[in-house]
Structure 1
Amino acid sequence: MKKEYIIYKLADKMKHSIHFDADLFSKYDVKRGLRNEDGTGVLVGLTNIGDVNGYERASDGKIIPIEGRLFYRGYNVADLVHNAQKEDRFAFEEVAALLLSGNLPDAEELKVFTDLIHDNMPLDHRTMLHIIELEGNDVMNILARSVLELYTFDENPDDTSRDNLMRQSIELVSKFPTIIAYAYNMMRHHKRNKSLSIRHPQPRLSIAENFLYMLKGKKFTRLDAKMLDLLLIVQAEHGGGNNSTFTVRVTSSAGTDTYSSIAAGIGSLKGPLHGGANLKVNKMIHYLKDEIKDWENEDEIRAMLMKVLQKKAFDKSGLIYGIGHAVYTKSDPRAELLKELAGDLAKEKGRLKEYEFMLRLERLSKECIYEVKGTNKTICANVDFYSGFIYELLAIPAEIFTPIFAMARIVGWCAHRNEELCFLGKRIIRPAYRFVDEYQEYIPICERDN
């Protein structure tokens, strides 16, 4: 029997062995996807790190839509962003210090923390050689393998004491930008025969500036770096319930090492239903730009969006990607913050018409969805709707859209891992699954039927 055939046979048997009746979820009160029947998340833990507000619940249990708010350690992210913009400074480092420690740093603490970040950004020759030797077309996979490799260079990789966890957290936050920039440049060199440039991080630059420098040299403006800094801030944390952070908390509760836990989080974020969603949105936007001849004609835009919803256009899924969120209702504060600065960036790049087209798409998409599916659920554009367009304004290749998300979210992952291990006790997270198949009698191999 050929190997290919046995793989087919095993896969076919697997297909026929999976037969769930949808009614079983209701019968056994199983929260599918850890979601309640109204779509809200099942409460599974407590945290002091992040809070995501998208609705309020009335006394009768009914959900009341509100403007979205995102809090880091109790501080409204909009306030953190607007104050940094008012002072014309980069703020991702400040946000990282806040999320990891629980407190806003004073000027001296921030300087020391930033210096520590800069000191840890360079990769030693062993890690650099490892990245150079890695083959592959996916930077997320290279990032995950590189993180696992860091375990071998850590003198205390399995130490889960408070101080060691903080050291590992700071080192990972520092090294992610360097690993991602080098991994992309190596992939570009291996797969596209482009020149290889390895640029060392510069001590006087912010994380956002250093990443752009390591990625493409001095070919970026201050506004480019400020936009990337904002992207990193709004994607740094999103509560303990998002899939990748929950993955980090689950693996951390088992007592595994930091590098294994973070690699698991990377694997989760890579998924097209999570961090990889921005790629799907970007493909859809490009499709709409090509199909819609007049970007100012709202009737033409609306007609195309209706075709998408009716499964007659794009990928025939009936979905407008980037519209709707599991928690946010009236607005996603991350998308709103990105829109504020994206207009200035689009103007600088001479792409204001595309930005205005995006605004029309957002507004008309919501109107079309309400027309087709009703108004029983309030929807908004989520962060992915604008992030891909902004990455393109920054001349950042699509291969590192999701890795940049990881570059931001490593802060939240480490904060949640540290909270899980240091403050919530040594109890493994172990939900239950109910077995719903039939019990079988063992059949000797000589009596089995194919």
Structure 2
Amino acid sequence: MDIEFEVKYGLDGVAVAISSISCVDGEKGKLVYRGFEIEDLIQNSNFEETAYLIWFGSLPNENELDFLISMLSKKRELPNQIIEMMKLFPKNSHPMEVLRSVVSMLGMYSKKENSTFENAINLTAKIPTIIAYWYRIRNDLPLIKPKESLKHSENFLYMMFGKIPEHFNLFDKALILHEEQGMNASTFASTVTASTLSDIYSIITTAIGTLKGPLHGGANEKVLKMFDEIGSIENVEFYINNLIEKKEKIMGFGHRIYKTYDPRAKILKNWIKEIFINNNIKYFEIALKVEEIVVNKFKDKKIYPNVDFYSGILYNYFGIPKEFFTPIFAMARIVGWTAHAMEYCKNNRIFRPKAIYNGPKNLKYKEVKGVE
């Protein structure tokens, strides 16, 4: 048959929106939020301030920042009915399954008159509570209620562990790294749902389901699983060579956009290196050896570590189990998802791409006669 359209599998290189939210320069290894390079924001900003920037397009003044912090802190608690339902979930449920389900349920408890932005604030405030409560429930620990006096990242760590660990500021900065990343798979999926003029809870449920995949947000969990399988630095070369021989994916390497070192991975690596000087950081030496071998073997293909390669090591340092890494990714990326949904709907057009049919033609129906 004659094919009139070129198929772009994975929509590779296809522009689907015009956005002022972020810029990902894959050739130079640059990530920019609303004109600010990520290194500048990491050095000087915090989660709430960066969230305001992504949502509104400019950094907040003191009153605007205080207002946002207050709104987030007041909306953290979940409805009691949802908490009781969470206690009935199977204890072996993956945290991403729980997050996806509870976000969907929250849509039934939202006020219909709320604006999209009010619902975005509501979800941004509640997602850390969902994650922390599930950690406590599955481990048969008493729930720790949110504290309005604590900032976003502080409160999350407090609700998880009952204390705020050393270097918690790096956790806050890691959330900034994950807040936004252009038109990635989960952002595109959420934008598709937004284009139907569906509600924000459906939009974010779509995004969470997409992020859950091991080729997207689920990769950080798989990276630590790989480190566990390697076991020691002496086994790295054999393990990597075995993966290459079997043509299996090496988790935490490569990126659809970055053709050089992912700037987020570089930042995370430097943080961990600084902590490593005075602490025994599990997996770090194995990670360095894996990076050395993989980058050397694939230097002609420009394959480098991505954000997932080092983020799990940092989260593990804080005592967070690897199944919770991807939900924490969602806890930050909710900002970018909602920003893109609101931006796209200002000039909305429902997505309707074309599929090229290559199935049979001109078949005739024949009645199926039963066997007597």
- Regarding TM over 0.5, the answer is yes
CA-based RMSD: 2.2
Shift of 1:276: 0.7
Secondary structure of 1:215's counterpart equals helix
Give the Cα–Cα distance (whole angstroms) in 2 for the partners of residues 271 and 200 of structure 1. 30
**Are 1:433 and 2:355 counterparts?**
yes
Give the Cα–Cα distance (whole angstroms) in 1 for the partners of residues 278 and 319 of structure 2. 13
Q: Taking every aligned residue pair, what percent have the same amino acid on both sides?
A: 37
Alignment of 1:15-94 (within 5 A): 28-35=5-12, 41-55=13-27, 66=28, 68-84=29-45, 91-94=46-49
Query: Who is 1:201 aligned against?
Result: 146
**Are 1:186 and 2:137 counterparts?**
yes
**Are 1:281 and 2:223 counterparts?**
yes
Deviation per CA, 1:118-161, whole angstroms, max 9, x where unpaired? 0111223233223223335111111111111112111217x6xx
Does the 8 A contact of 2:165 with 2:318 survive in 1? Answer: no
TM-score (norm 2): 0.93
Whichever residue aligns with residue 7 of structure 2, its letter is V
Give the Cα–Cα distance (whole angstroms) in 1 for the partners of residues 259 and 180 of structure 2. 19
Which structure exhibits the higher relative contact order, with contacts defined as CA atoms closer than 8 Å and separated by 6 or more residues? 2
Deviation per CA, 1:251-287, whole angstroms, max 9, x where unpaired? 1101111111111111101111111111221111222
Task: Specify which of 235, 242, 255 is matched with residue 307 of structure 1.
Answer: 242
Secondary structure of 1:51's counterpart equals strand
Query: Who is 2:202 aligned against?
Result: 260
Whichever residue aligns with residue 433 of structure 1, its letter is A
How many correspondences in the alignment?
369
Does the 8 A contact of 2:219 with 2:308 survive in 1? Answer: yes
Task: Specify which of 204, 207, 213 is matched with residue 158 of structure 2.
Answer: 213
Query: Who is 1:114 aligned against?
Result: 69
Task: Specify which of 311, 332, 350 is matched with residue 280 of structure 2.
Answer: 350
Shift of 1:446: 1.4
Give the Cα–Cα distance (whole angstroms) in 2 for the partners of residues 442 and 362 of structure 1. 59
Shift of 1:304: 4.3
Shift of 1:350: 2.4
Shift of 1:303: 4.8
Would the alpha carbon gap of residues 165 and 382 (structure 1) be closer, same or farther in structure 2, given more than 3 Å must change? same
Secondary structure of 1:239's counterpart equals coil
**Are 1:155 and 2:111 counterparts?**
yes
Whichever residue aligns with residue 138 of structure 1, its letter is H
Does the 8 A contact of 2:217 with 2:329 survive in 1? Answer: yes
Give the Cα–Cα distance (whole angstroms) in 2 for the partners of residues 92 and 181 of structure 1. 18
Shift of 1:335: 0.5
**Are 1:232 and 2:175 counterparts?**
yes
Does the 8 A contact of 2:227 with 2:286 survive in 1? Answer: no
Deviation per CA, 1:136-190, whole angstroms, max 9, x where unpaired? 5111111111111112111217x6xxxx01101111110000011112222233x
**Are 1:393 and 2:317 counterparts?**
yes
Does the 8 A contact of 1:25 with 1:32 survive in 2? Answer: no
TM-score (norm 1): 0.77
Shift of 1:408: 0.8
Would the alpha carbon gap of residues 402 and 28 (structure 1) be closer, same or farther in structure 2, given more than 3 Å must change? same
